[in-house]
Amino acid sequence: MNKLNEQYRQLTQEPRYQISALRKTGMGLRGIAKEIGVHYSTVSRELNRNSPPNGYSGAEAHPLSDIRKRTSLKANKRHSHTDDIIRGSVILGWSPETVSLRMTVESKVTETLSHTTIYRRIEENRLQGGHLYRQLPRFGKTRWKGGKRNKKAGVRLIHDRVDITERPDIVDARTRLGDWEGDTVHGQSAHLVTLVDRTSRFTLAKRVFSKTKEEVGDAMIALLKTAHTVKTVTLDNGGEFAGHVRVSKATGADMYFAKPYASWQRGTNENTNGRIRRFWPKKFDMGKLTDDEIERRILLLNFTPRKVLGGLTPFEVYMGQGVALIT
């Protein structure tokens, strides 16, 4: 017999009727196995598991097998508790991978699921008419497709500019708190000044209604004075940051500027601004938001687990204390 056919496999109803009939003829286990094309251990296991007190019967064995499968530990691994965790986390904007990582962080109080399992459950929800899949984070942005760019754009507007090449190497290492990256998120009638700690990804944000260097500078000073550690700030070359010297004197932070059109040199801030855009997309009128609405969204961002932090949140890394999010 082909060895592949002798490997263990689940029996269907038809082979169970065959086993029952051959059993009545007095045929042994190996003979029955050869007749129906399975390993003899499959027949032995079937008889041990699905034989009622009055003897094995194909008609009774199949329902018994179904009952055992439905009540097994593996079948019961899915609990409504984990479905609630998935639903609540995805609505908050967490990716399946983030949900999985957070389950691992809080594994002492909840079971863990892989991100593929979580994706599968979201797909099940979609097939049942649910809309949970619409809450999944979407990525991708339209790249600039123009001609040559002015490599000095913005630089001429910023006096006493210190280039990123002069920034201490320790900032690149991300081994300490207090190294921030800054930018603005544009809206129709208002904008956000955002600052992100490079190590913890903790975010600070404040709305401004104009992008003058005075108003943006005031916002940066107010934000940095709420931070418990401020060492450096790395900015882009927008004219709104031309008041950096005043900000430095008020906060004690050393100010550095990335190369023009080198957003990757402030990648942490760019990534965070992309996350903020999930709340308020381009052309959204930020002037209509209340301060409480902005504060709640930034708080939500700081309590969102991050893959780069091993499933911890920016708040936990920045403040050095754990929180229970899904339990």
Q: If we measure between CA atoms, which residue out of 37, 64, 27, 29 comes closest to residue 49?
A: 64
* Model confidence pTM above 0.75: no
Residue 76, classified by CB atoms within 10 Å of its CB into exposed (0-12), middle (13-18) or buried (19+), is exposed
* 181 is a domain residue: yes
Give residue for tokens 């201490």: 168
Q: Which residues of 138-166 are buried (b: 16+ CB within 10 A; e: fewer)?
A: eeeeeeeeeeeeeeeebeeebeebeebee
Is the pLDDT confidence value at 78 over 90? no
Report if residue 199 sits inside a domain: yes
Higher pLDDT, 128 or 318: 318
How far is it, in rounded angstroms, from Cα 327 to Cα 325?
A: 6
Q: 66 and 84, same structural domain?
A: no
Closest by CA to 183, choosing from 203, 157, 169, is 203
Domain shared by 114 and 210, yes or no: no
Kindly report which listed range (33-42, 58-67, 168-177, 312-321) carries the lowest average pLDDT score.
58-67
Does 185 lie in the same domain as 59?
no
Considering the domain architecture, whether residues 305 and 206 belong to the same structural domain is answered as: yes
* Distance in angstroms (rounded) separating the CA atoms of residues 163 and 155: 10
Last residue of a domain, one of 135, 153, 176: 135
CA atoms within 13 A on the CB side of 290: 3
Cα-Cα-Cα-Cα dihedral sign, residues 312, 313, 319, 325: negative
Same domain for 96 and 213 = no
Q: What is the pLDDT of residue 155?
A: 62
Tens digits of residue pLDDT in 188-218: 999 999 999 999 999 999 999 999 999 999 9
What is the bridge-based pairing of β-strands 179-186 and 254-257? unpaired
Longest dimension (CA), the chain: 99
Which CATH number is 249's domain given? 3.30.420.10
Residue labelled with tokens 């999985």:
100
Task: Using the 3D structure, point to which of 22, 39, 71 is the last residue of a domain.
Answer: 71
Q: How far is CA 174 from the centre of its chain?
A: 21
- Closest C-alpha among 125, 101, 103 to residue 112: 103
Residues 113 and 199 in one domain: no
Q: Position 42: which residue type? A: T
CA dist 144 and 150 (Å) reads 13
Q: Is residue 143 part of a domain?
A: no
**pLDDT tens per residue, range 36-45:** 888 888 888 8
* Cα 158 to Cα 195: distance, rounded to the nearest angstrom: 19
Average pLDDT, rounded, for the chain = 87
As for how many domains the chain has, the answer is 3
Same domain, 54 and 120: no
Is position 155 within any domain? no
Residue 146 lies in a domain: no
Strands in 31-190 per DSSP E? 179-186
Could you tell me if 190 and 309 lie in one domain?
A: yes
Indicate the pLDDT class of residue 325, thresholds 50, 70 and 90: very high
Same domain, yes or no: 252 and 285? yes
pLDDT digits (tens, 9 = 90+) for 83-100: 899 999 999 989 999 999
Q: Do residues 302 and 205 share a domain?
A: yes
159 part of a folded domain: no
Residue 185 lies in a domain: yes
- Confirm whether 151 is domain-assigned: no
Is residue 124 located within the same domain as residue 259?
no
Which residues have CB under 8 Å from 30's CB, separation 6+?
40
Predicted pLDDT of residue 40: 84
Domain residue limits at 248: 164-319
Q: Which of 71, 88, 107 corresponds to the end of one domain?
A: 71
Report residue 156's pLDDT band, with 50, 70 and 90 as the boundaries.
low
pLDDT, residue 256, reads: 97
Does one domain contain both 207 and 171?
yes
Element holding 98 (H helix, E strand): helix 96-105
The string over 203-216, giving b where at least 16 C-beta atoms fall within 10 Å of a residue's C-beta and e elsewhere, is bbbbbbeebebebb
The answer to whether residue 19 scores a pLDDT higher than 50 is yes
Compute CA distances 224 → 123, 180, 221, 235, whole Å.
43, 9, 5, 14
